[in-house]
Amino acid sequence: MFYGIPLTSRLLLGTAQYPSPAILGEAITASGAEVITVSLRREGAGGGAFRELLRDTGRRILPNTAGCHSVREAVTTAHMARELFATNWIKLEVIGHADTLQPDPFALVEAARILCSEGFAVFPYMTEDLILAERLVEAGCRVLMPWGAPIGSGQGLRNPEGLRSLRAHFPGIALVIDAGIGAPSQAAAAMEMGFDAVLLNTAVAKARDPVGMARAFGQAVAAGRLAHEAGLMLRRDMAVASTPVFGMAELA
Ligand SMILES: CC(=O)[C@@H](O)[C@H](O)COP(=O)(O)O
């Protein structure tokens, strides 16, 4: 549930870098994703035809401010997104570092404050820092999107302990792992840890078979969630025999 909207699928899919619009459409269908994200800059390049294609998928669109490096740029882009896609949802990215595409936490909080006060439902792309998370919640965010690893890196969950801690500290906030996921097993691991959803793009768009990979991610996210709900066993340092020994036949 994001900002009061219930969803069945816990996979959110990016729409950039696919080999063709047709493959993008098929991948969205195969993934089962109900929310797709689009960059306004990408949209600007693709124009109205791309926007039509996204609308035709019937999915809920989460516009994003990818490529923005300042509060002003991000806020202006969010305003454009609200008009173009007729939604108050915005995935807020304010990039602070060119090499790692790490978000700028200070600008992120400032932009989030402005957009929340204007009635946007803000999905901030952030690092897993606890204090940053607190500030974003104070600003009005009810969904947080901590990174798994730098965008496009495919490194998976680089700081699992930090992410676990974030999950434990914000039980009432929807937490979505966003970026850096390279394999379905990594998405499943995030879901097993209790995250509410996963957002990814590159691992599907750049797969040899994006449609097959989209299906694999959809199933992995669902399996990870099922496992979380079913309750994973505790890890132990020592072996514990899983076969009972009572009533065994005497062989001597
Ligand atoms: C599509 C989008 O919003 C990206 O900014 C997002 O963070 C995905 O990252 P990956 O491409 O690493 O999955």
* CATH number for the domain that contains residue 177: 3.20.20.70
Residue 237 lies in a domain: no
In a domain, 4, yes or no: no
Is residue 105 situated within a structural domain?
Answer: yes
Query: How far does the centroid of ligand 1 lie from the alpha carbon of residue 37, in Å?
Result: 9
Atom of ligand 1 at shortest range from CA of 200: 13
Out of 91, 113, 135, 225, pick the active-site residue.
91
- Nearest alpha carbon to residue 227 among 5, 10, 1, 2: 10
* Mutation pick for ligand 1 pocket among 201, 204, 206, 217 (CB with most ligand atoms within 8 Å): 201
How many A from CA of 252 to the centre of ligand 1? Answer: 64
Instruction: Return the ligand 1 atom nearest residue 64 CA.
Output: 3
Please report whether residue 251 resides in a domain: no
In a domain, 88, yes or no: yes
Count the domains in the chain.
Answer: 1
Q: Does residue 84 form part of some domain? A: yes
Nearest to 41 by CA among 68, 10, 18, 61: 68
**Closest ligand 1 atom to 151 CA:** 12
Q: Could you tell me the residue range of the domain that residue 67 belongs to?
A: 11-230
Query: Residues 26-39: pLDDT tens digits?
Result: 999 999 999 999 99
Helix (H, G, I), strand (E, B) or coil at 27: helix
pLDDT at 42 (0 to 100) = 61
Phi, psi (rounded to 5 degrees) for 41: -70, -40
pLDDT tens digit at each of 252 positions of the chain: 899 999 999 999 999 999 999 999 999 999 999 999 999 876 554 578 888 899 999 999 999 999 999 999 999 999 999 999 999 999 999 999 988 899 999 999 999 999 999 999 999 999 999 999 999 999 999 999 999 999 999 999 999 999 999 999 999 999 999 999 999 999 999 999 999 999 999 999 999 999 999 999 999 999 999 999 999 999 999 999 988 777 666 666
Cα of 203 vs centre of ligand 1, distance in Å, is 9
Residue 239 lies in a domain: no
DSSP-H helix ranges across the chain? 21-31, 40-56, 71-85, 105-117, 130-139, 160-169, 184-192, 202-205, 210-230
DSSP E strands: which ranges in 35-112? 35-39, 60-64, 89-92
Q: Which residue CA neighbors atom 2 of ligand 1 most closely?
A: 14
Ligand 1 mean position, distance from CA 238 (Å):
40
Protein residue whose Cα sits closest to atom 3 of ligand 1: 14
Whether residue 206 lies in the annotated active site: no
Ligand 1 neighbourhood includes 92 CB (under 6 angstroms): no
- CA 201 vs. chain centroid, Å, equals 9
